[in-house]
């Protein structure tokens, strides 16, 4: 919005410059030659002014681009950090899950083995009737 106001102000300045030059030409008490020299001089000054303003605008745009690149770099780095933390937490959860599954597998295997042993003991202790 500020850039738009600056451009608007520049446009009004240039319009005022043109109107002022026209009024000056119409009411100038100078000869045609002097008036032409003044017009050429004014055009040169206007051209130089525009060059200066263009350089300033280019410098400002360059500064804004550099700042934007820095900010994007910072955001990318923060994003990487968050992803790395999330990945580390995910790996920790997966490892906990593996450990839990291994532990439960061992308990179930032990219970199955105990059940087999109890079955064998019960079957051997009670003779079968034929």
Q: What is the DSSP letter of 87?
A: H
- Prediction pTM value: 0.44
Assess contact for 13 and 50: CB atoms under 8 A.
no
How many whole angstroms separate alpha carbon 109 and alpha carbon 103? 10
> Can you say whether the dihedral through the CA atoms of 39, 45, 46, 47 is positive or negative?
positive
**Mind listing the pLDDT tens digit of every residue in the chain (130 residues)?**
666 777 778 788 888 888 887 787 777 676 777 777 888 888 899 899 999 999 999 999 999 999 999 999 999 999 999 999 999 999 999 999 999 999 999 999 999 999 999 888 887 766 655 5
Closest CA to 42 of 26, 8, 18, 13: 18
CB atoms within 10 A of CB 22: 10
What's the number of CA atoms in the CB half-sphere (13 Å) around residue 8?
5
């Amino acid at each position: 919005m500020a850039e738009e106001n600056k451009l608007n102000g520049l446009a009004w300045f240039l319009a005022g410059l043109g109107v002022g030059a026209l009024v000056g030409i119409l009411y100038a008490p100078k000869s045609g030659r002097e008036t032409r020299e003044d017009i050429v001089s004014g055009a040169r000054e206007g051209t130089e002014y525009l060059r200066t303003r263009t350089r300033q605008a280019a410098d400002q745009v360059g500064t804004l681009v550099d700042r934007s690149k820095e900010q994007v770099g910072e955001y990318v780095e923060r994003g990487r950090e968050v992803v790395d933390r999330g990945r580390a937490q995910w790996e920790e959860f997966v490892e906990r899950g593996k450990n839990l599954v291994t532990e439960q597998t061992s308990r179930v295997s032990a219970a199955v083995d105990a059940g087999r042993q109890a079955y064998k003991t019960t079957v051997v202790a009670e003779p079968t009737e034929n």
